[in-house]
């Protein structure tokens, strides 16, 4: 089920949970708890370009002035009415390394601890690193890995939300974004559809927005001038809000 981004944001703002925008089996009358699984485009970025800092976004930006946050930090800033969230993404993560390194176990543990008092949602965004030749992950393996993550989130009592990868800010000679994540986007949507779980098409939303503003303005969201993948704080707020409700 493709989520309407404005309706996701509106339901967070108007009720304790996002249940009206999300699956009907979500628990009622509990605030939402969001756990963000993903790579460096989701994670809080250090000045050196990676890592994860699983702390509230307001604390991160206040205590770490050199922080270059992924969209996850901006997304968590949109939460209201008792909703909470933790960004558990990290630099260089793939659908395989996120599990092998123990980060996914931390997500599942967080879901298990939260589900008594909250309705836990798990956003799952991978693709940037899975597509690299060094990762040696085929699109079929990528799809199978996403399916396994969503299945395990459901089994733990969480509501998985698959998120298509945020677009890179590289443009072709026609002044349009190079859609080099198209295979991963299609695979993510196909897995969500086959499992009847929710997804957010951040790739589509970010691509449309970047196409509309052009390469020069798109570059103003770069972490550093030559980094067309990671975000600066303004980019985190903008693209995080797209995930929370401003991009459909």
Tens-place pLDDT, residues 189-239: 999 999 999 999 999 999 999 999 898 989 888 888 887 677 777 777 777
Q: Which domains does the chain have, with CATH numbers?
A: 5-246 (3.40.50.1110)
pLDDT of residue 13: 45
pLDDT of residue 33: 95
Residues of the chain with pLDDT under 70: 1, 4-28, 45-68, 228, 243-248
C-alpha angle 119-244-197 in degrees, rounded to nearest 5: 55
C-alpha angle 151-195-136 in degrees, rounded to nearest 5: 65
pLDDT of residue 175: 93
Q: Strand 44-45 vs strand 68-69: parallel, antiparallel, or unpaired? A: antiparallel
87, containing H or E segment: strand 84-87
How far is residue 137's CA from residue 2's CA, in Å, rounded to a whole number?
25
pLDDT of residue 57: 43
C-alpha angle 105-66-92 in degrees, rounded to nearest 5: 35
CA-only gyration radius of the chain, Å: 17
pLDDT of residue 68: 60
pLDDT of residue 244: 64
């Amino acid at each position: 089920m493709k989520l309407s981004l404005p309706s996701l944001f509106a339901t967070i703002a108007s009720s304790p949970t996002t249940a009206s925008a999300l699956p009907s089996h979500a628990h009622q009358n509990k605030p939402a708890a969001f756990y963000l699984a993903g790579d460096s485009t989701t994670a809080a970025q250090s000045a050196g370009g990676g890592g994860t800092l699983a702390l509230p976004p307001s604390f991160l930006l206040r205590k770490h002035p050199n922080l270059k946050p992924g969209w996850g930090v901006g997304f968590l800033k949109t939460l209201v009415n008792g909703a909470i969230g933790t960004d558990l993404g990290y630099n260089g993560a793939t659908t395989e390394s996120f599990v092998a390194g123990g980060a996914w176990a931390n997500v599942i543990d967080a879901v298990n601890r939260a589900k008594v008092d909250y309705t836990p949602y798990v956003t799952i965004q991978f693709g940037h690193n899975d597509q690299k030749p060094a990762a040696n992950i085929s699109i079929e393996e990528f799809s199978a890995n996403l399916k396994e993550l969503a299945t395990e989130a459901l089994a733990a009592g969480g509501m998985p939300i698959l998120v298509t990868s945020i677009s890179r800010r590289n443009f072709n000679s026609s002044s349009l974004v190079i859609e080099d994540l198209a295979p991963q986007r299609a695979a993510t949507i196909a897995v969500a559809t086959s499992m009847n779980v929710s997804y957010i098409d951040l790739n589509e939303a970010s691509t449309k927005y970047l196409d509309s503003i052009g390469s020069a303005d798109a570059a103003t969201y770069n972490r550093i001038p030559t980094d067309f993948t990671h975000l600066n704080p303004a980019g985190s707020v903008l693209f995080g809000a797209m995930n929370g409700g401003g991009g459909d």
